[in-house]
Amino acid sequence: MSKNFDVIVIGAGPGGYIAAIRAAQLGFQVACIDEWKNDTGGPAPGGTCTNVGCIPSKALLQSSEHFEQAGHHFADHGIGVSGLSIDVSKMVARKDSVVKQNNDGILYLFKKNKVSFFHGRGSFVKAVDGGYEIRVEGQSAEVLTGRQIVVATGSNARALPGAPFDEDKVLSNDGALRIGAVPKKLGLIGSGVIGLEMGSVWRRLGADVTILEGLPTFLGSVDQQIAKEAHKAFTKQGLNIELGVTVGDVKISKKGVTIAWTDAKGAAQKLEVDKLIVSIGRVPNTTGLNAEGVGLQLDERGAILVNEECKTNLPGVWAVGDVVRGPMLAHKAEEEGVAVAERIAGQHGHVNFNTIPWVIYTSPEIAWVGRTEQQLKADGVAYKAGTFPFLANGRARALGDTTGMVKFLADATTDEILGVHIVGPMASELIAEAVVAMEFRASAEDIARICHAHPSLSEATKEAALAVDKRTLNF
């Protein structure tokens, strides 16, 4: 096998493996290096997303939602369930097999696209004439040479100062996805995306869940009308969310974890739990890359410094995904990976940061694209808003899932869609229509004039677009 490549990608998460495949499609000789090991020490490409992120969390969310439905909602449909039980180890084993299918799928895609995969840690050795030497340290060590290098080394969970992850009692996202039995009491620090998704999984399975959030506002970056609706639903389900807290000492004992905290009114409190998940954000990962050895510049957060085209300060070195600025989302990483491969080929790779959707896979789901009402106010933009509740949607009633709404924000003068925000059933799928509309710079009226299938949840999207012009038909 040749050790000289046109493109070497370090990291096979969604940013890296997609960049490698796209570069190979464009005719380059490509190597992709990834160090992630599965339980038997073999390669597990796919990064955080596949191994300890998007995919396993969605598998557990699905299983736990089935349990919740069987236990609490089947009866509404006249379906009786007796002897309902949960086998957590089987649920976790199913999750693991879903992960493995995805790992294997990526290895297959590498073969199909003739990407040379190297299992081990990649690091810069030095710049050489027309490229860089990259060392791979796995079961053996070797040095590859690449004309262009794409760094896609991802991110790691941020630990709470004074409470390092032991993945037994104090858990990152990794440990949170491997809990072997339902804890009686579960604590989470941070009511962001992971806090809400993981808190939901273990609450549905029977844990008594408390989430301690530092900020006084729930989901501050989400449209606040949507966030309030979601907060109401989560509280009703039994998630105990404490806002505006200050977390103090965290003490680990044989029995569990004790967290000292101060509530929003300044009163000292104590939370005793069996396990604690710390989900307070993630930090870019450049460990072991020898960035400093070749003079690769990082910003003050430790992210690789890139321009809008994902170019670093070093000629021929690019960086994409969680290791650079921007939202830490798998689809953002993928878009950057494709764009960089195309730029290397001299094409005009393109990522539209204004139309990157966000989804929180709780129940109800929360999804949005574009600006929130509070952002439009802060930006001084004149806008019109239209909302439509799922309560008035026939399909949602038939599903028995009428929580939430679709909300449109459109420019007051031009009617261009500026943001779409959804809390409710299948919000993760419904948001795609809004993303397409915004990418084509559609107006709210464009959506209102399009025929939507009946009965479908997507009719709520059409009706919310009609609501911008105060002419809903079913509400």
Which residues are the active-site residues?
Answer: 454
Dihedrals phi, psi of 315, to nearest 5 degrees: -60, 135
- CA 188 vs. chain centroid, Å, equals 18
399, exposed or middle or buried, with CB in 10 Å at 0-12, 13-18, 19+? middle
Closer residue to ligand FAD (CB): 47 or 389: 47
Reference 364, options 287, 300, 427; nearest CA is 427
Closer residue to ligand FAD (CB): 36 or 408: 36
Among 333, 340, 376, 434, binds ligand FAD (CB under 6 A): 333
* Smallest separation, CB 172 to ligand FAD (Å): 8
Among 329, 341, 418, 422, binds ligand NAI (CB under 6 A): 329
Among 94, 178, 311, 331, binds ligand FAD (CB under 6 A): 331
* Smallest separation, CB 176 to ligand NAI (Å): 10
Is residue 202 close enough to count as binding ligand FAD by CB under 6 A?
A: no
Which residues in 254-313 contact ligand FAD (CB under 6 A)? 285, 288-289
SS3 136: strand
Is residue 194 close enough to count as binding ligand NAI by CB under 6 A?
A: yes
Among 6, 28, 47, 229, binds ligand FAD (CB under 6 A): 47
Among 9, 329, 339, 465, binds ligand FAD (CB under 6 A): 329
* Smallest separation, CB 16 to ligand FAD (Å): 5
Task: In whole angstroms, give the CA distance from residue 287 to residue 301.
Answer: 13
Backbone dihedral region of 163: left (phi > 0), alpha (psi from -120 to 50 degrees) or beta?
beta
Task: In whole angstroms, give the CA distance from residue 360 to residue 61.
Answer: 11
Closer residue to ligand NAI (CB): 119 or 282: 282
Residue 171 carries which DSSP code? E
Query: From ligand NAI, ligand FAD, none, which one binds at residue 15 (CB under 5 to 8 Å depending on kind)?
Result: ligand FAD
Q: How many residues bind ligand FAD (CB under 6 A)?
A: 37
Residue 214 carries which DSSP code? S
Please state the length of the chain: 475
* Smallest separation, CB 50 to ligand FAD (Å): 7
User: Which residues have C-beta within 8 Å of that of residue 281, sequence separation ≥ 6?
Assistant: 158, 190, 192
Among 6, 213, 336, 415, binds ligand NAI (CB under 6 A): 213
Task: In whole angstroms, give the CA distance from residue 187 to residue 178.
Answer: 16
Closer residue to ligand NAI (CB): 315 or 327: 327
Closer residue to ligand NAI (CB): 48 or 69: 48
Q: How many residues bind ligand NAI (CB under 6 A)?
A: 23
Helix (H) or strand (E) holding 33: strand 30-34
Is residue 64 close enough to count as binding ligand FAD by CB under 6 A?
A: no
Cα separations in angstroms, 29 against 6, 130, 146: 5, 15, 9
- Pairing type for strands 155-157 and 358-360 reads unpaired
Cα separations in angstroms, 287 against 151, 230, 291, 304: 12, 37, 9, 12
DSSP string, 386-440: EEEEGGG-HHHHHHT----EEEEEEETTT-BEEEEEEEETTHHHHHHHHHHHHHT
Query: From ligand NAI, ligand FAD, none, which one binds at residue 461 (CB under 5 to 8 Å depending on kind)?
Result: none
Helix (H) or strand (E) holding 47: helix 47-52
Task: In whole angstroms, give the CA distance from residue 197 to residue 61.
Answer: 7
Which residues in 176-195 contact ligand FAD (CB under 6 A)? 194
Closer residue to ligand NAI (CB): 281 or 400: 281
Is residue 279 close enough to count as binding ligand NAI by CB under 6 A?
A: yes
Is residue 330 close enough to count as binding ligand FAD by CB under 6 A?
A: yes
Is residue 363 close enough to count as binding ligand FAD by CB under 6 A?
A: no
* Smallest separation, CB 90 to ligand FAD (Å): 21
Which region, judged by CB under 6 A, interacts with ligand FAD, from 300-308, 323-331, 345-353, 367-375? 323-331
Is residue 56 close enough to count as binding ligand NAI by CB under 6 A?
A: no
Query: From ligand NAI, ligand FAD, none, which one binds at residue 238 (CB under 5 to 8 Å depending on kind)?
Result: none
Is residue 15 close enough to count as binding ligand FAD by CB under 6 A?
A: yes
Is residue 197 close enough to count as binding ligand NAI by CB under 6 A?
A: yes
Contacts of residues 104-109 at CB distance under 8 Å and 24 or more positions apart, as own/partner, are 106/12, 106/17, 106/45, 106/46, 106/50, 107/43, 107/45, 109/17, 109/21
- CA 152 vs. chain centroid, Å, equals 16
Question: First CA to last CA across the chain, in angstroms?
Answer: 65
Query: From ligand NAI, ligand FAD, none, which one binds at residue 331 (CB under 5 to 8 Å depending on kind)?
Result: ligand FAD
Interacting residues toward ligand FAD by CB under 6 A: 10-16, 33-36, 47-49, 53-54, 57, 121-123, 152-155, 173, 194, 285, 288-289, 321-323, 328-331, 333
Interacting residues toward ligand NAI by CB under 6 A: 189-195, 197, 212-215, 247, 279-282, 327-329, 359-361
